Structure formats: structure tokens, C-alpha cells
Amino acid sequence: MNRLDGKVAVVTGAGRGIGRAIANALHAEGATTIATSRASADPSFGAIEYETLDVADEQGWARVIERVLERHGHVDVLVNNAGIIAYDPLHELSMADWQAVVATNQTGVWLGMREVVPHMITQGGGSIVNISSIWGSAAVGGAHAYHATKGAVRNMSKNAAITYAPQNIRVNSLHPGFIGTPLTDAQAPEVNAYVVSQTPMGRAGTPEEIAAGVVFLASDEASFVTGSELVIDGGYLAQ
């Protein structure tokens, strides 16, 4: 449908699940799409370009964005999707696991925005979509590090939206509910069943439903949308 013709988009955590669906959707809408993940180059992406990136690596971000600019001259859309989770309760989580979750979920988002914003200022604007979670606004037992980082993403997005609105850089957060992905497939079945049972629509969402929201926020259709939280959760947070 070409809603993103002429735009260059970078997506993190795009090796599978939500990130893979986002990269596919942006590409289908006409964007030149660069998918990134920590894995080695993946030929299955086809026409979608691929870069290896650990989002917690400052030099890695500089290298990837430099390559994108060398090839395409601009970067119009950044989707900070990469994320990990730890389930240990607060009093049992190790320092190493805490730091790993913060590095990927929070520092990675900050580094991505810091790297692309100067280029977006120079080119006259852009769109940043930061993937948070319903757990950035509500809580369940355990997973406190995930809650903390997704809440940070929510508020960092608002701050960046206000800061860079004069430069025509839109920054929004997207908050998925329970989505069927390899990440949730690895959770205990009883945990998944409980969250689905608490979702008014009574089912898990799909990665493609999240990707559709990203396409909207990335496109010019959302030209007056910044600092917003797009919740796609089957009604969970409406309760």
C-alpha cells in the first residue's frame, strides 16, 4: 500500500517475533528497512537489509547508523523493539541479570534515540517508536526489572517527544499486551494461560497486530501524534 514510500527505517530485535513482523510490515509499506538483532546475518530476510547489533553497544549503534547513512543518506524511522525479561523476584535477582535487562530494554532505547536524533534534526524530522509494554503501566508478581525498564521507556518517550517536537521528530511508545511470540512461548504455560484469562478479548494478540500499530505511528498519517502511548492489548489496561 506504499504508506512509507521513500522512508528508511531501522528496527531492533527483528530476528523473530514482534520485531520480525514489524520489519516485514514496514518493508511491505514501501520503506527501505534495516532489520537488526544480535545474531549473525540472516539471509531469510531477503530484500530487507540486515545488520548485527547488540543494542547495549554504543559503538555498535554508531557503526550501524553510519552504514545506513552511507547507503541511503537518511534515517526516517527508528523502532526500538529489542527486549529481554527476567522473572526472578526482587530479592532473588542477581546484579548481572538486573544489569542485562536494563542494558537491553532501557539503555538500548536511549542509545538508539541518541544516535539517530542528530541526523533527524539535520534532515528536518523523523519518527521514533519505542516498544514498551502493558507492564510499563501495570504490574504482576515477579519480573520487576522488566516493569522498571518498560516504565522507563514510556517516560523517556514522552520526554523525547516534548524535547524534539520543535524539530519535527515524533516519539511515541507502543504497549503490547500478551502477544504470541517465541518469548512468551518460552514462559510457563500456566503464566500464559493466566494472562490470557485476564484479557477481555480472551486471546493472545499476534505480532502482526503490533506491527500494524507501528506502521501507523511511523507513517505521515500520524503527523500530529507525538508523546502518545498506543496500547494494543485486547482491553487489558481498560479494566
Chain centre to alpha carbon of residue 195? 21
Residues contacting 175, CB < 8 A, separation 6+ = 132, 133, 134, 136, 137, 154, 229, 230, 231, 232, 233, 237
Active-site residue, from 50, 146, 164, 236:
146
8 Å CB contact between 26 and 6: no
8 Å CB contact between 118 and 136: no
CA distances (Å), 76 to each of 4, 14, 24, 79, 217, in order?
10, 17, 17, 10, 12
Residues contacting 56, CB < 8 A, separation 6+ = 103, 104, 107, 108, 111
- Measured distance CA(127)–CA(120) in Å, rounded: 9
Diameter of the chain measured on Cα atoms:
50
8 Å CB contact between 95 and 138: no
- Measured distance CA(110)–CA(130) in Å, rounded: 10
Catalytic annotation on 236? no
- Measured distance CA(23)–CA(133) in Å, rounded: 19
- Measured distance CA(41)–CA(49) in Å, rounded: 9
Active site amino acids: 146
